[in-house]
Amino acid sequence: MTTPDPDGLLAEQLLRLTRRVHRIQKRHLERHDLGVTPAQSRLLRTLAHYASPPRMADLAERLEVVPRAVTTLVDGLETNGKVRRVPDPANRRVTRIELTDEGRTTLRELRGARRSAAEEILAPLTEKERQVLGVLLNTLIEGDGGQRC
């Protein structure tokens, strides 16, 4: 009742914050000069979560993008020597994506950039507030993916 459109406002804040997060992330990445774009950084981190090299399609699903988008990202990372495409002997349609040693090194350095970016973004929040925010964001993320359709 305080505002006429509180939810729209919330979405607005979210989008605004988003732009800032992107900017800050990009700046910190450039500062560390790892030769990796934000989206590539995300793919690298995702890659680290797998026990064995995932397929392109696996990555696409995990990143919530169409497979074609993964191709471009892997192209960039591969030319920079961060990842390697390896054919799957069992199914010749699939190509699996492996982190190279250089990719693993980059990933470690990336963690610093990521941490400092997060710190800059979250500076205004106390530890407890961050926890609350984390829970809320998680609810939003989980809520959609699991229940719809």
Partner DNA sequence: CGTTCATTGTGAGTATAGGTAACAATGAGC
Partner DNA sequence: GCTCATTGTTACCTATACTCACAATGAACG
- Helix intervals (H) in the chain: 6-32, 38-48, 56-63, 67-79, 101-122, 127-147
119 binds its own copies (CB under 8 A): yes
Specify the pairing of strand 95-99 against strand 83-87: antiparallel
- Give kind and range of the element (H or E) at residue 148: none
The entry of its own copies, DNA, none near residue 94 (CB within 5 to 8 angstroms by kind) is: DNA
The residues of the shown chain that bind DNA, judged by CB under 7 A, are 19, 23, 37-40, 55-57, 60, 63-75, 85, 91-96
Between 68 and 108, whose beta carbon lies closer to DNA?
Answer: 68
Binding mask 12-51 for its own copies (x = CB under 8 A): xxxxxxxxxxx--x----------------x--x------
Geometric angle at alpha carbon 117, from 130 and 43, rounded to 5°: 100
The entry of DNA, its own copies, none near residue 28 (CB within 5 to 8 angstroms by kind) is: none
